[in-house]
Structure 1
């Protein structure tokens, strides 16, 4: 558990900073130091402005590509300590240096990646906050787990600028009555780090417990969502959200960017706007043609225990006998109608249909008069052709 005695204030330089300059204090999420100007503030951040594989992006369900070779990914079930910080840009959890490694493998990954930190983005209101959008809709918050390729590189700083260097797991967060248990553990001590630069020893955390109970996900190749925007990240977005309650969201929105003497602006709205996808492929292991998916869709429409509503791009099936954490989320599909469905109206009354005989009448056939066609001879005249010319790409003959 956290302890107030463990609270500290720190200001650390960015991993991509030249010696003597703390560039972490030069960028924000708004104004003249906001995302539009990240590529101008520091020449080393040019990728933020010129990159073609930038993150976050909007996930358009119509462009998803089913990849049958995408297997479920795994995250080690390890309990580890760490530190919870208010960096002035976001709430961040950092794994302890002497903790047992927490590795991510499988799925779209060809190497093992070691989790180093998690970063929380959230909005000042429920209609915004997540960095990734689903069908142009935002979630109130998004927790991003970051890991580096520990088979090729020594640490996150080195891997973040190298090919296949980083994995990012984007966990979308929805407001609900019951909070995801491990998310509650992660945010213990949030009331202690009100001001930027403060930190507190975090409670022991099972990072695996932050993953929703689903094997379905989306994946694409993108970038870090803060300077220097290196395009080295394989993003994984599970197909179910985490839950946070209203009280915790209220505490998050009370956090400030600055210190206690200069509190400055609130920490909320710390998300980068979506970037152009540039025709990137977004793959998924969700296959709506198989029997299981069709069964879920039938449950969506016909189950008398099912209540149907819409949450952003997800369509949820909630059995009233299930708990909040057992809600099933499905991506948008053409077969799902965008309206409420009342199961009570599914009964169809069958009535006998009176059959009446159809009177058959003969059709009178009339002969068609055939007339000979007069053929006239055609006079053939020679045509004088002038020299041919080529005009641009069109070939034509000049008349005399």
Structure 2
């Protein structure tokens, strides 16, 4: 009536347009000179209202090479349910090899991430843990939110952290470079470290996020050289971690990644987080769009095993000693057969103030949303002194 279109019909037309455009891209990719969709035609969120750049729910539809983003069964990130974690006594400590040298690299605004890529002459390798091979550091990537209560890709018991640092490594023993390894079995290891807000910051992140540095990469494709970096400083002071088999969290979502989530967060200041939120997805001549909320939604776990080197055994009646339990294999997953681990976990919203008190619960998760002095609190802790 009156020439006006029903809003519901508009939604249907918009969905048809998206499907037709997606099909056009897939068909065009079969031509001799396809557009470089793989390199850049995707986004975490709608870029400009009324334009179509595929967000995560469409990644697997617009390019046949990205179909794992839609149909893959081992996708990342995931929600880590502490009640489903299994202690694996065969997980060895992580070993970081920097050759005793500090490193240099280039920090980029990619339009989607703050990315630090090391110079090729600076080799940093990691081994141990769930790894059979040594892996070489290729890139450090930052994810962060528009608000303090969001920004990490992985969730812990359904809750997010303010950000997530991802150290992306490739298997240099089997493959010649990252590109080859990313699409190959046992190709990648990604170490994930949660970020929390505090009054002071991690010394490594402070080099990346101080005002003099971060303002050099305000716009897409900006780059800035950094030197004298100590990679060891980005790691929290813990040997505890959680691990599972998953995928890259960006297209083409290859399921070739072993994830290692460290059991303590590192800290950034409110000002540093604000500075990251002022980074633009676009170049100076384009409309400003904050890079924040550069996260892929969590994916189904699909019966994957979440392993940890944290021995959650307790001497209490609610949680029998795990080492005394009979272990059994369930598929490829090492599972404890007789303990209801849900009785062993406790969610705590404030950190312990007494640095010397013993933690009696098997797991204590810290999700304080208030600014606090960093104490290197365990994300998951067990019968230990809080330091």
Instruction: Place the TM-score, normalised by the shorter chain, in its bin.
Output: 0.7 to 0.9
- Within the candidate set 4, 13, 36, 1:22 is matched to 36
Distance 1:305 1:67 in 2: 28
Is the 2:209–2:275 Cα contact (8 Å) retained in structure 1?
A: no
Is the 1:135–1:313 Cα contact (8 Å) retained in structure 2?
A: no
* Cα deviation, residue 264, structure 1: 3.7
Match of 1:154 in 2: 176
* Cα deviation, residue 290, structure 1: 6.1
- Within the candidate set 109, 120, 129, 2:151 is matched to 129
Is the 1:54–1:224 Cα contact (8 Å) retained in structure 2?
A: yes
TM-score normalised by L of structure 1: 0.71
Matches within 5 A, 1:137-176: 137-176=159-198
Matches within 5 A, 1:1-400: 21-23=35-37, 24-31=39-46, 32=52, 33-77=54-98, 78-97=101-120, 99-188=121-210, 189-289=213-313, 314-315=365-366, 324-331=373-380
Deviations 1:258-302 (A, max 9, x none): 1000034210010000000001000001112268xx9xx9xx999
Return 225-234 or 68-77, whichever deviates more: 68-77
Distance 1:281 1:79 in 2: 36
Unaligned regions of 5+ residues in structure 1, if any?
A: 1-15, 318-322, 336-400
Distance 2:240 2:40 in 1: 38
Distance 1:81 1:302 in 2: 38
TM-score normalised by L of structure 2: 0.73
Unaligned regions of 5+ residues in structure 2, if any?
A: 1-28, 47-51, 316-320, 322-345
Distance 2:355 2:373 in 1: 19
* Cα deviation, residue 101, structure 1: 1.2
Deviations 1:9-66 (A, max 9, x none): xxxxxxx999663323310001351000001121100000000000000000000000
Is the 1:258–1:264 Cα contact (8 Å) retained in structure 2?
A: yes
Deviations 1:122-171 (A, max 9, x none): 00001110000000000010010001000000000000000000000011
Is the 2:265–2:376 Cα contact (8 Å) retained in structure 1?
A: no
Distance 1:251 1:301 in 2: 30
Is the 2:236–2:376 Cα contact (8 Å) retained in structure 1?
A: no
